[in-house]
Structure 1
């Protein structure tokens, strides 16, 4: 089968590799229908993030169709499903706590399309077929009427944005939300859209990129330039703050913007060896601060339900839809969300 393989920055190739096979009765083989480019994928492909040496299978955000399933897989051929990007068994003590990003059955940080994170290649979403172990736990049915292209990023980036506002708004209905956009560009936009969909009292999206501000407005958020270079100070305190900018200055601004006893989630990967954090201010405010990789599998079904009921519109973040055949050439295309549709799905 064909597999898109990352070789080095700005060089991806289609390789012919052996097709996956069922290895257990809980396994499934899935044919990708739509694959979204993760924000991290863009930075790996351009070389901005240099800690991912090739070669390895590429792509990890996907909606697909089951083509083969074991007797205990919980799915059947023809089922359309969302495939989590992180591998997890759903059975170990860690998974039962909802910490599927560190499943005990796999090397730490095991994921599709990101072999260097765990030291083992599990295949990539930009392939003809994907092997899914523990499919009875991993795979989530795509509701009828939901376009695979709309839901393609659920595996990672949509879930990442959702976790910064969804659980918090469930505890604080009508709370105000600030989203600081930037490096994790689609994640920040998904957070803003999710906050609007979930009825936040006010949603303000700050970003120095005008195109992303327009997308935030399309989802119902207020949007303004971030303008930290001009020494911007918070306009008001916010109950919930989501930081997707990935800079030290933005993280400091996020803490200054957080209301007393507020919740701050940093979704961006801060790439510097050290990042200064104004902990004294955070301490006196009593801020709850979250950072770390998303727990994809427990989170994205909540976002999927919100898409299916028509309140959440992740398609407003997508700047381009192309075919699998274009993936090697377009992976460095700038923009917040690029989605590849399998030609055979048309």
Structure 2
């Protein structure tokens, strides 16, 4: 079958690889229908993220079940499903706690489309078929009233933005939210979209990029243009702040803009060995700082439910819809969110 394979920054190839097969009774085979480009995929493509190739690409996927293992009871061929990017069993102690990014039944950081994270190739979503283990736990049924393209980022980037605001708005209903956008392009926008959906009294999206500012307004946030520079004054005093910038100075700006006893969550990845944080201010103000990988499978039902009810519109953030056939050329496009549509079947 065809599989989009990352070779090195700027180089992708279509490889002919063996079709996956059912290898355990809880497996299913899924035919991808719509695959979103994760924010991290862009930085793999352009070399900012130091991932060595080759490996199969694509991990945000909506698809159709083609074949099921003997122990699969919740799904059957023809079902349309959303597939979380992280692989989890649903039965180990970590999964039962909701820590689905740290399942002990699979290698650490096991996921589709990013072999270097775990050292094991689980296949990529920009291909003809994908084997999904632990299917009864992993898969989430696609609602009939939502398109596959709208849900394509529900396996990763939408939950990533959601988790940065949802628990904090539960703890502090109606709180004002600040999102500082940047490298985690769509995740920051999805965080703003989620905050609007969850009833924040004010949602401010700050960024230096005009296209992302326009998209933030499209999902109901206030757009605040930033000028690149150092030692910018606080943008206010927000109980909930989100750093999606990937820039150390912008991260510190987010912390400066966090209210006393507030929460700042960073959804960006910092590849530098050292990032200086204002710990004295954080300590004195009682600021909680959170970073780390999303528990995607845990968050997906709430995310998909809000989309299905019309409270969130991720399609407004999608910049381009591109056929699979053009995926190799489009992977490094700087657009905030690209969705690849399967044009092979």
Query: TM-score interval w.r.t. the shorter chain?
Result: over 0.9
The answer as to 2:56 corresponding to 1:30 is no
**Which deviates further from its counterpart, 24-33 or 221-230?**
221-230
Q: CA deviation at 1:250?
A: 1.2
- Give the corresponding residue for 2:126: 126
**Which deviates further from its counterpart, 254-263 or 174-183?**
254-263
Q: CA deviation at 1:237?
A: 0.4
Which deviations, in whole Å up to 9, do the C-alpha atoms of 1:40-95 show, x marking residues without a partner? 10111111222x11110001000011001123222111111110101110110111
- Give the corresponding residue for 1:53: 52
Q: CA deviation at 1:230?
A: 6.2
Q: Could you tell me how far apart the structure 1 residues matched to 2:95 and 2:272 are?
A: 30
- Give the corresponding residue for 1:223: 223
The gaps in structure 1 that reach 5 residues or longer are: none
> Is the 2:231–2:249 contact (alpha carbons within 8 Å) kept by the matching residues of 1?
no
In the TM superposition, what are the counterparts of 1:329-340 in structure 2 within 5 Å?
Answer: 329-340=329-340
- Give the corresponding residue for 1:117: 117
In the TM superposition, what are the counterparts of 1:101-116 in structure 2 within 5 Å?
Answer: 101-116=101-116
- Give the corresponding residue for 2:65: 66
Q: Could you tell me how far apart the structure 1 residues matched to 2:341 and 2:301 are?
A: 22
Give the match's secondary structure for 2:152. Answer: helix
Q: Could you tell me how far apart the structure 2 residues matched to 1:124 and 1:4 are?
A: 8
TM-score by length of 2: 0.98
TM-score by length of 1: 0.97
Q: Could you tell me how far apart the structure 2 residues matched to 1:284 and 1:228 are?
A: 27
> Is the 1:226–1:232 contact (alpha carbons within 8 Å) kept by the matching residues of 2?
no
> Is the 1:180–1:226 contact (alpha carbons within 8 Å) kept by the matching residues of 2?
no
Q: CA deviation at 1:226?
A: 2.3
In the TM superposition, what are the counterparts of 1:1-346 in structure 2 within 5 Å?
Answer: 1-50=1-50, 52-73=51-72, 74-229=74-229, 231-344=231-344
Q: Could you tell me how far apart the structure 2 residues matched to 1:170 and 1:312 are?
A: 17
Q: Could you tell me how far apart the structure 1 residues matched to 2:158 and 2:309 are?
A: 16
Aligned CA RMSD, in angstroms, stands at 1.0
> Is the 1:33–1:62 contact (alpha carbons within 8 Å) kept by the matching residues of 2?
yes
Q: CA deviation at 1:287?
A: 1.2
Q: Could you tell me how far apart the structure 2 residues matched to 1:80 and 1:140 are?
A: 9
Q: Could you tell me how far apart the structure 1 residues matched to 2:97 and 2:12 are?
A: 37
Give the match's secondary structure for 1:102. Answer: coil
Q: Could you tell me how far apart the structure 2 residues matched to 1:98 and 1:290 are?
A: 17
Which deviations, in whole Å up to 9, do the C-alpha atoms of 1:124-175 show, x marking residues without a partner? 0101001000000000001111100000001111110000011111221111
Aligned residues: 344
Which deviations, in whole Å up to 9, do the C-alpha atoms of 1:200-229 show, x marking residues without a partner? 000000000011000000111001112251
**Which deviates further from its counterpart, 182-191 or 15-24?**
15-24
Q: Could you tell me how far apart the structure 1 residues matched to 2:85 and 2:55 are?
A: 15
> Is the 2:230–2:249 contact (alpha carbons within 8 Å) kept by the matching residues of 1?
no
Give the match's secondary structure for 2:153. Answer: helix
> Is the 1:228–1:249 contact (alpha carbons within 8 Å) kept by the matching residues of 2?
no
> Is the 1:110–1:117 contact (alpha carbons within 8 Å) kept by the matching residues of 2?
yes
Q: Could you tell me how far apart the structure 2 residues matched to 1:71 and 1:225 are?
A: 55
Q: Could you tell me how far apart the structure 2 residues matched to 1:323 and 1:163 are?
A: 30
Q: Could you tell me how far apart the structure 1 residues matched to 2:256 and 2:177 are?
A: 14
The gaps in structure 2 that reach 5 residues or longer are: none
